Amino acid sequence: MQVVSESEWAKALEGVRAEEKRATRSADALAAQRRRLPAVAFDTPYSFRGPDGEVQLRDMFEGRRQLILYHFMFAPSVPGWPEAGCDGCSMFVDQLGHPAHLHARDTSMALVSLAPIERIEAYRTRMGWTIPWYSSADTSFNRDLGLTRDNGEYFGLSVFITEGDRVLRTYFTSDRGVEKLGNVWSLLDLTPLGRQETWEDAPPGRPQSDPYIWWRRHDEYETH
């Protein structure tokens, strides 16, 4: 690690901050494009299972206009089954903040998985989460959305909005599109060691490991 005077450090930081501001403006422009995306009608009457019984997609909005729905990998093809859901999905949910801030903007958030609701509730209790979580086990929901593939289930995040009696799907992302929404990764990106994964461009000598292998459910780090 190079050590310099405070004035040299401030000058180097100023250059990085200028690049960060450009990236922020670029991200703002991209968000503006998302707000102008067309939508697709979501008319199939899927029946999900919640802790209190059967619900429809419209019920997940909880009376609000928008819904952010995270497709959480919890199924027989996913590591951790049958006791636990995907470790990466679990890390993502750990990073979600208090829902009041979304609710203030007429937006709800929920999770949906292929696991039976009984397994979902048991795992949610273990993790200490309160976010609404529903089972799509008795529906073609995952397959219809392209999340059931030859190599198993996949994760992602969908955004819906209501217009009158209609539910519209406006957005979907997966892979690093979901990852960038988590503050663990964003905070690590601010540090000199970064995420410490081999794909990163880091100075020689910095610790690095293969991607993902360090991820754990939050109650498993000490046991590993």
Q: Where are the domains of the chain?
A: 40-175
Q: What are the tokens at 183?
A: 């503050």
In angstroms, the CA 7 to CA 12 distance is: 9
For domain 40-175, the CATH class is alpha beta
Q: What are the tokens at 197?
A: 């994964």
CB under 8 Å to 192, separation ≥6 — which residues? Answer: 1, 206
Distance of CA 44 to the CA centre of its chain: 24
Neighbours of 89 (CB within 10 A): 21
CB under 8 Å to 20, separation ≥6 — which residues? Answer: none
In angstroms, the CA 196 to CA 185 distance is: 11
For position 116, what pLDDT does the model report? 97
In angstroms, the CA 69 to CA 192 distance is: 33
The pLDDT tens digits of the residues spanning 10-23 come to: 999 999 999 999 99
Q: Which regions in the chain score pLDDT beneath 50?
A: none
The pLDDT tens digits of the residues spanning 52-98 come to: 999 999 999 999 999 999 999 999 999 999 999 999 999 999 999 99
| Model confidence, pTM | 0.94
